[in-house]
Structure 1
Amino acid sequence: MFKNHIKIAWRSLKKQPFFTFLNTFGLAIGMTGALLISLFIYDELSFDKMFADAHRIYRIDADIKFGGAEIDASQTSAPMAGTLQRDFPQVESTVRFRDQGSMLLKKSGTVANTKELRATFVDSTFFDFFGVKLLFGDTKTALTQPNTLVLTKTAAEKHFGVKNAIGQSLILDNTDTYTVTGVIDDLPKNSFLRDHSVFMAMAGLADSREDLWGNTNYYTFIKLIPTAKIEDFQAPLQSILEKYLLPWAQQVFPGLTMESFAASGNYYRYHSMPLTDIHLYSNRQSEMSANSSIQNVYILSFIALFLIVLASVNFMNLSTAHSLKRAKEVGIRKTLGSKKLDLVSQFLTESGLISFISLLLALVLTLLVLPLFNDLSGKSISLPYESPFFWLILLVATILLGLFSGSYPAFFMSRFMPVKTLKGGEQKYAGGVSIRNALVIFQFAISVFLIIATLVVYQQLDFIQGKDLGYTKDQIVLIDDTFAAGNQVDTFKEEVVKLGKVQSATLSSFLPTPSARSNTSFFKEGSREQENAIQMEIWSVDEDYIPTLDMELVAGRNFDDRFGTDSAAVIINEAALPVLGIGANEVLGTRISQDIESEEAEYYTVIGVVRNFHYESLREHIGALCLLMRRSTGNMAVKLSAGDFPKTIVNIKTIWEELAPGQPFNYRFMDDSFNTVYETERQLGKIFMVFSVLSILIACLGLFGLAAFNAQKRTKEIGIRKVLGASIEQITFRLTTDFVKMVSVAILISLPLGWFAMNKWLQDFSYRIQIAWWVLALAGFLALTIAVLTVSYQSIKAAIVNPVKSLRTE
């Protein structure tokens, strides 16, 4: 029987190639989009699950409010790990990381350096803790001694070759010599360590052994024993505050109590974050790698569901509309003894066959567009051919899709009354117009919603690009690792400034775009109580920093190297004024200090106030910041005049190679560096745009088919109208009006939903747009225009047919 159903289904599909194409292609597009999104979501949900005992691993985070600043820290203090291991029986083992950012590496006895983007100090427990295997070396001894390190396979290959790396010496940042004691495989792209290639022994870092509870520089991970529950660990974790942090703080603030600390509005809370949740649920300061958001996963899940539902709705609409053509077939079958169940089976077989053909086409399309999708999403995903589970899910999903898509047409066509169908009577309940209309409205409501989302995301990105950031990011080129020039770094700056197309240059490791960060507590002179502490970012800059980045001073003056006293001067931003409780002009001359433990503390005098500039993402409020005139040679920012940028960069490179031979020349433009902060939003905007286009395409395919069927069904009506004098424009208008009404209803439904959903999304930004009325109007106009163009083709085609030919049609 099944074989017979397949044979009849194939014949039926071949008889109606136009509708078969629309159904198959529509389903294939929906399945392709859903498959791509599913692969993306699977990759996002799989982050860090490859590590041994990942479900028992947690990171210790801290929520801190102190000195007017609120800090969501992903790091804790150096002694935290040892304390947890010693005092908490629930903790099986711990490991710490102290991230160092990028580093320059070279073999001993050579001049040329190679840059590794991410290096970190790590405890020797790293290998057993995460189940990381060494390709070469011994996990028991690899990172136990100071000045030893482990390289990833790719990093080892750069310097020595994988097999020859053990025992070799490397010089890091032209200063310290390390011995290679191990080589590990490259870490997975879906792990928080994906960008790290150099792991240095924590044993060689003196700071890691200090009992400094107030410094938060170490990523601390714990692994619970198998029987422990994190809920039982969370409450005792807070005891560390009173037992260890408070005694340390009392050395600085005698008489401090937990009660007085809380009474001043400050707080310090520890909590745990599951390792497998970090990528999607953590958005804290100084994450070890860029994280995504569970919100994006939800959004993309809905889009995938929408695409499948849109394609299924198309199938239902076209099948039910086409059912009138098969009414006599159903009547004859019933007259010859076919049961309702047999007819349902036949029609479901047809929908299943279309689903499987669509699946094959979707797999081909997925293979073709996967490279483009990877570029779009910043992923490196692929189809998991070797996974039986993948094929099983695909098979089950295709069967369910076929059943879902074909169920409505199958059950209703099987209810045709033989007497009416053979007489040519209409079946009011089969393929009801109201149901088809509702499905079209549903399709376009989703499409309009996605158009609104796309417009809002791009408008927010445009707002970010155009917002006055308080500094200039255009025509600024950043040269990394200028410290590698050693004592020639000042000469390098001087020679670069002499170039004709260079306006100015500044040396600093601290930039408004992603760069080094440092913060500390300051106190006004004469105020040594903890409630009067001022938490500020502290950046070391030179006298050319403010003019190079076009920052504006609202009070006071800039640093001047002619004044020796400026080595003990600071410039603060406007955000520091409310914390200090002084106005911009009144604050000039105020003395502040980091050191309050001695009567001979070093004080800095405020000589200027710089207008607030965005040194964090626009998701965050601008915090207090101070600039010190201190030597910091990590980067050089060069302000260029408009003109031939490539030629100027070549000239800068020539100077670099003369003064720092063998050192890598790495540069980037500041606006590109700025854009990396919003890469997630950019990717989301591109994904919205692509899948909005797909959803509209699917909806238009359905509308196109329905318009063709509607025009075909009303052939005689059109002929009679033309004979009675109706113009082509009047007939086209009449045939189009019904569809325009449906799309208009869809627009009215989707506009408030789109406005509400995108307002929720914008709440993540401290600086954001307001959704303008024209955004909603444009989304509606685009949908309506596309629908009219789609329907008009079929309407005009029907309207220009010779009426004699129309009236002869049976």
Structure 2
Amino acid sequence: MVLNYFKIAWRSLKKQPFFTFLNIFGLAIGMAGALLISLYIYDELNFDKMYADTDRIHRINTDIKFGGDEVSVAESSAPMAAMLEKDFPQVELATRFRNQYSMLIRKSGTNENVKEFEGNFVDDTFFKMFGFELLYGDTTTALKEPNTLILTKTAAEKHFKIDEAVGQSVIIDNNETYIVTGVIDDMPKNSFLRNDNIFISMASLEDAKNTQWGSNNYATFIKLIPNANIEDFQESLQSVFKTYVMPWAQKVFPGITLEGFLAAGNYFNISSIPLKDIHLHSQRSSEFSPNSDIQNVYILGLIGLFLILLASVNFMNLSTAHSLKRAKEVGIRKTLGSSKLELIRQFLSESGLITFISLLLAIILAAIALPFFSDLSGRDISIPFSNPFFWLILIFATIILALFSGMYPAFFMSKFAPVEVLKGGGQNSIGGSGIRSSLVVFQFAISVFLIVSTLVVFQQLKFIQNKDLGYSKDRVLIIQDVDAAGNKVQSFKNEVQQLSAVENVSLSSFLPTPSNRSDSSYFQEGKMDQDYAIQMQSWRVDYNYINTLDLEIIAGRNFDKKFSTDSLGIIINETAVAIMGIKPEDALGLRVTHNIEDEELQFYTIIGVVKNFHFESLRENIGGLSLVLGDYTNALAVKINARDYASTIASIEQQWKKMAPGQPFNYYFLEDSFNSTYESEQRLGRIFTTFTILSLLIACLGLFGLAAFSAEKRAKEIGVRKVLGASVGQITYKLSVDFLKLVGIAIIISIPLSWYIMNKWLEDFTYRIDISWGVFALAILMAVTISIITVSFQSIKAAIVNPIKSLKTE
């Protein structure tokens, strides 16, 4: 009997190829889009779940408000790990990381360096914490001794035969020699360590032994004992500030008290976050790798659901609309003894057949689109064809979709009264137009919502791109690792400055895009109390820094070689002046210090105030900042005044090879670094665009089919109107206006919803656009235009038919 159902279903589908195509193609597009989004979400939700005891591993976070500044960092102080192991019975194990970012590495006895972009100092408990095994070497001794390190397989193969790496010596940054004590497999792509290739023993780092509680530079991970009560642990963490941090602060900051610190609205909070939650729930400074956002997962999940719903709605709409042609079939079947249940089974068989054919087409479409989608999402996603669970889930989901899509049409058509439909009253007896109208409204409400969302995302990105950042990011080339030139760094800078295409050059590793950061508490001379603390970034720059980045001095002057006292001069920004509670002009000549724990205080004289510029993401407020002369020369910023970038870069590289033979020449443009900061938003915008187009395509397929059915259903009416003198334009308008009314209702529903949701999304940005009426006007125009084009094609086609032909049709 089941086989017979499918045989009849197949015959029925072949009789109506146009509607069959619309149903299958619409469902396939929705299923393919939902499949790709599901694979992406699955990848996002499985970050950092591959480690041993992942559920028990947490990272310590630090949130501080002090000196007019608020920071949220993914790091804590050096003594935190040992203290947690000693004082907290819930903590079974602790390990620390100290990020070194990029470094140059070469095999001893060679001159050619290789740049590794991520490396970390780690405690020897690293292996026990995460359950890593070495491909070569012994985990119990690999990171015990100073000046030892382990390499990932990829990093080791750049220098040695993989099985000969252990015991070899390498030189890091042309300075320190280390012994390779192990080779580890490459880090998983969905790990917070995915970019790391070098792990150096923490015993090599002298700073790791310091006992300062106010310097937060170490990512600290802990493993809790089985069944530990996380709420109790979180609560007890708050005692760390009172027990350890405040006693240390009272030695460093004269007169500071716990009561005074809290009364001033300050705080020092320590908390933990599960390792598996970091990727989607943590957006702090000093993260190991760029994290995603759970909001994006929710948004993409909704889009995937919308695509499936849109495709299902298409099926329901087209099936019920096309039911008029099958009314007599239902009447005859009922007259011959078919029960309502048998008819429901028959129609569900048809929906099941359509859905499974759509599934096959969807898999083909998804496989074709996968490389594009992987590039779009920034993830290395693949379809797990060999995984039986994948097929089980896919088949189960398809069955659910078939039932969901086919249930309403099946019940709808099985209710036809045989007496009415067999004597020709089918057209009047078949209802459902209200349901079909509601489904069209639902489709276009989703489509308009997606259009508005896409426009808002791109407007925010455009705002970010065009906002006055307070510095110039255009035409600024950043050359990395220039300290590899040793004592020839200054000579290299001078040679670059002489190039005709170069406007200005500055040596500094501190840049307004992701780069080095150094945070300090400053105090004005004579005001060393905690109430007068000024928390701000402390950047080491050279004399050309301000001119190279086109920063604006609003009071005082720039650093000048004519003034020998500028070695102890300092330039601060407007925020720092505001924290001091004075005007920029009044700050000039004041002296500040940050090394108050030293016996002899070193004071810096404020010689200038620079206009605020965005050195953090536009999600954050501009904090306090100070510039002092220094020799931290890891990067060279080159302002180019010509458009022939290729020849200018080639000339700079030529000078580099003269000054630093054998050293890699690495560079990037400051604008590209700025853009990478908003990579997740750009990716979200591209994904929105792609799936908005898909949703519109699905909605238009349904509208196209309904318009064709409506025109066919009203063929005689059209013929009569033409005979009575109606023009093609009048008939087209008459056929189109009913559909446009539905689109109008959809717009009314979707506009306030999209305004609310996108305003919530924009709340993540401190600097953001206001959603203007123009966004909604453009979305409405696009939706109406697309629907008019879709409906008018069928309407005009019906209106130009010879009325004699339509009136003769029986």
* TM-score (normalizing by structure 2): 0.99
Corresponding residue SS for 2:101: strand
1:7/1:774 Cα in 2 relative to 1: closer, same or farther (>3 Å)? same
The answer to whether structure 1 residue 764 and structure 2 residue 764 are counterparts is: yes
**8 Å Cα contact 2:420/2:429 also seen in 1:** no
Mapped contact 1:327–1:416 kept (Cα < 8 A)? yes
Residue of structure 1 equivalent to 2:462: 462
Partners of 2:490 and 2:693 in 1: CA distance: 53
Q: Distance in 2 between matches of 1:562 and 1:103?
A: 36
- Partner of 2:31, secondary structure, is helix
Given the alignment of the two structures, is residue 190 of structure 1 paired with residue 166 of structure 2, yes or no? no
In 1, the alpha carbon distance for the partners of 2:524 and 2:643 equals 47
Partner of 2:393: 393
Alignment of 1:179-328 (within 5 A): 179-328=179-328
- 82 and 431 in structure 1: CA distance in 2 versus 1, 3 angstrom threshold: farther
Contact 1:348/1:403 (8 A) holds in 2 = yes
Alignment of 1:484-523 (within 5 A): 484-523=484-523
Report the CA distance between 1:29 and its aligned residue: 0.4
Q: Is the 8 A contact 1:449 1:751 kept in 2?
A: yes
For residues 583 and 202 of structure 1, what CA distance do their matches in structure 2 show? 46
Residue 29 in structure 1 maps to residue 34 in structure 2: no
Match of 1:418 in 2: 418
Which string of whole-angstrom CA distances, capped at 9 and with x for unpartnered residues, describes residues 179-225 of structure 1? 11111111111111010110000011111111111110001111011
Q: Deviation per CA, 1:62-102: give whole Å up to 9, x if none.
A: 11111111111211111111111111111111111000101
Determine the C-alpha separation between the residues in 1 that align with 2:429 and 2:293.
46
In the alignment, which residue of structure 2 is the partner of 1:564?
564
Matched, 1:730 2:730: yes
CA apart distance, 1:531? 2.2
> Structure 1: which amino acid aligns with 2:664?
P
Other-structure match for 2:128: 128
Shift of 1:562: 2.7
Instruction: Describe the shift of the 1:483–1:711 C-alpha distance in structure 2 as closer, same or farther (beyond 3 A).
Output: same
Distance 1:334 1:464 in 2: 65
Quote the Cα distance in structure 2 between the aligned partners of 1:429 and 1:183: 77
**Structure 1 counterpart SS, 2:504:** strand
Report the equivalent of 2:695: 695
1:161 aligns with 2:157: no
Q: Structure 1's 684 and 431: CA in aligned 2 closer, same or farther, altered over 3 A? A: farther
One-letter code aligned to 1:233: F
Once the two structures are superposed, residues 764-791 of structure 1 have per-residue CA deviations (whole angstroms, 9 ceiling, x without a partner) of 1010111110110100110000000001
Find the counterpart in structure 1 of residue 747 from structure 2: 747
Structure 1 residues 588 and 256 mapped into 2: Cα distance closer, same or farther (>3 Å)?
closer
Amino acid at match of 1:288: F
Please name the residue that 2:574 is paired with: 574
Question: 2:355: which partner in 1?
Answer: 355
Aligned length: 810
Deviations 1:516-552 (A, max 9, x none): 1111111000111122111110100000000011111
Aligned to 1:782: 782
SS at match of 1:607: strand
2:644 matched residue in structure 1: 644
Residue 376 of structure 1 and its aligned partner are, at CA, apart by: 0.6
1:232-279 Cα deviation digits (max 9, x unpaired): 211222222222212211211345332222122211111111111111
Helix, strand or coil at the partner of 2:112: coil
What is the SS of the residue equivalent to 2:163? coil
- Cα pair 2:64 2:71 within 8 Å, conserved: yes
- Distance of 1:434 and 1:428 partners within structure 2: 14
- Displacement of 1:582 in angstroms is 1.6
- Residue 285 of structure 1: CA displacement? 1.3
Q: Are the aligned partners of 1:95 and 1:125 in contact in 2 as well (CA < 8 Å)?
A: yes
Aligned to 1:628: 628
Q: Which range moves more in the overlay, 93-102 or 523-532?
A: 523-532
- Supply the distance in 2 between the matched residues of 1:140 and 1:226 (Cα, whole angstroms): 23
For 1:561, what is the secondary structure of its paired residue? coil
Contact conserved, 1:323 with 1:431, CA < 8 A, in 2? Answer: no
Answer whether contact 1:149 1:178 (CA < 8 A) is retained: yes
**Number of the residue aligned with 2:594:** 594
> What residue number does 2:710 align with?
710
Looking at structure 2, the residues matched to 338 and 427 of structure 1 have their Cα atoms a distance apart, in angstroms, of 22
Task: Name the CA shift for 1:598/1:508 in 2 (closer, same or farther; >3 Å).
Answer: closer
User: Does the 8 A contact of 2:255 with 2:530 survive in 1?
Assistant: no
**Correspondence for 2:5:** 5
User: Can you list the C-alpha shifts for 1:373-400, whole angstroms capped at 9, x where unaligned?
Assistant: 0111100010112222111110000000
- Residue 440 (structure 1) aligns with: 440
Give the structure 2 partner of residue 546 of structure 1.
546
Deviations 1:651-710 (A, max 9, x none): 111111111111111111111110000000000000000010000000000000000000
1:79 aligned to 2:79?
A: yes
Q: Quote the Cα distance in structure 1 between the aligned partners of 2:189 and 2:692.
A: 28
Q: Distance in 1 between matches of 2:205 and 2:399?
A: 59
Q: Is the 8 A contact 1:280 1:294 kept in 2?
A: yes
Q: Is the 8 A contact 1:412 1:429 kept in 2?
A: no
Residue 746 of structure 1 aligns to a residue whose secondary structure is: helix
In the alignment, is the contact (CA less than 8 A) between 2:442 and 2:746 conserved in 1?
yes
Classify the secondary structure of the residue corresponding to 1:405.
helix
Q: Which amino acid aligns with 2:52?
A: A
Report the 3-state secondary structure (helix = DSSP H, G, I; strand = E; otherwise coil) of the residue aligned with 1:608: strand
AA in 2 matched with 1:311: A
**1:111-158 CA deviation, whole Å, 9 max, x = no partner?**
111010100000111111101111111100111111111111111111
**Which amino acid in the other structure matches residue 499 of structure 1?**
L
CA contact (8 A) 1:60 1:75 kept: yes
The match for 1:604 is 604
- What are the residue-to-residue correspondences of 1:325-340 with 2, within 5 Å? 325-340=325-340
- The answer on whether the counterparts of 1:415 and 1:430 sit within 8 Å (CA) in structure 2 is no
Q: Deviations over 1:542-567 (max 9, x none)?
A: 00000011111001110012321111
Q: What is the match of residue 686 of structure 2?
A: 686
**Which amino acid in structure 2 is aligned with residue 257 of structure 1?**
T
Secondary structure of the structure 2 residue equivalent to 1:376: helix
Hey, what does 1:481 align to over in structure 2?
481
Tell me, what secondary structure is at the counterpart of 1:63? strand
Find the aligned partners of 2:427 and 2:45 in 1 and give their Cα distance.
Answer: 48
Deviations 1:565-587 (A, max 9, x none): 11100100111111112211110
Q: What displacement does 1:596 show?
A: 2.1
Asked if the contact 2:101–2:118 (Cα under 8 Å) also holds between the matched residues in 1, the reply is yes
Alpha-carbon distance between aligned partners in 2 of 1:386 and 1:187, rounded to the nearest angstrom? 23
3-state DSSP of counterpart to 1:718: helix
Higher deviation after alignment, 241-250 or 660-669: 241-250
SS at match of 1:668: strand
Report the TM-score, using the length of structure 1 for normalisation.
0.99
Ranges in structure 2 where 5+ consecutive residues have no aligned partner:
none
CA distance in 2, matches of 1:431, 1:81: 71
Equivalent position amino acid for 2:426 in 1: E
SS in 2 for 1:764: coil
Paired residue for 2:661? 661
1:667 is paired with a residue whose SS is strand
User: How far apart, CA to CA, are the structure 1 residues paired with 2:321 and 2:434?
Assistant: 12
Amino acid at match of 1:442: F
Percent identity, please: 64
- Superposition CA RMSD, Å: 1.0
1:427: how far off?
6.2
- Are 1:700 and 1:787, in contact at CA under 8 Å, matched by a contact in 2? yes
* Range 7-16 or range 232-241, more displaced: 232-241
Which amino acid in the other structure matches residue 297 of structure 1?
V
Amino acid at match of 2:48: D
Q: Give distance in 2, aligned partners of 1:352 and 1:767.
A: 50
